[in-house]
Amino acid sequence: MNDVLKGFKEFIARGNAVELAIGIVIGSAFGAVINAIVDYLITPLIAAIFGKPNLDSVLTFEINHAQFSIGAILTALINFVLVAAAIYFFVVVPLNALQRRRRNEEVPADEKPEDVALLEEIRDLLAGRPPQA
């Protein structure tokens, strides 16, 4: 039993498990934010444009008392695209900009890239050599 507890303690102490738990909690909270954006901003815009907030009752048909709704599928697809767009524009684009800014700050402006410094060193060594006949 002691080995099981020790193994569990090592598992929890590893960064991967903690990072995964944090990611799940933050992802859940962020999902609520994205759902609020879709439910209270984008869906009313769709309702204002098309007259209905969703297409669930549109494009339905019945076969042998079984109800089929193409509109519900279209609503789910539209919601997926809207959530993906919200994540891209509100998370991915700002994080990419932040990463670019951090990369630009890491390299000091007065420091030359390694390939340029190497080419200049080769040039200087060749300039000090006597001309070849």
pLDDT at 132 over 70: no
In percent, the amount of the chain with pLDDT more than 70 equals: 90
Q: Give me the helices (H) in 14-67, please.
A: 15-37, 43-50
Residue, of 91 and 15, whose pLDDT is higher: 91
Of the candidates 112, 111, 92, 90, the one whose C-alpha atom is nearest the C-alpha of residue 100 is: 92
pLDDT at 32 over 80: yes
Q: Domain map of the chain by residue range?
A: 1-52, 54-127
pLDDT at 91 over 60: yes
User: Rounded mean pLDDT of 28-38?
Assistant: 82
60 close to 68: Cβ distance less than 8 angstroms? yes
Residue given tokens 């020790």 in the structure block: 6
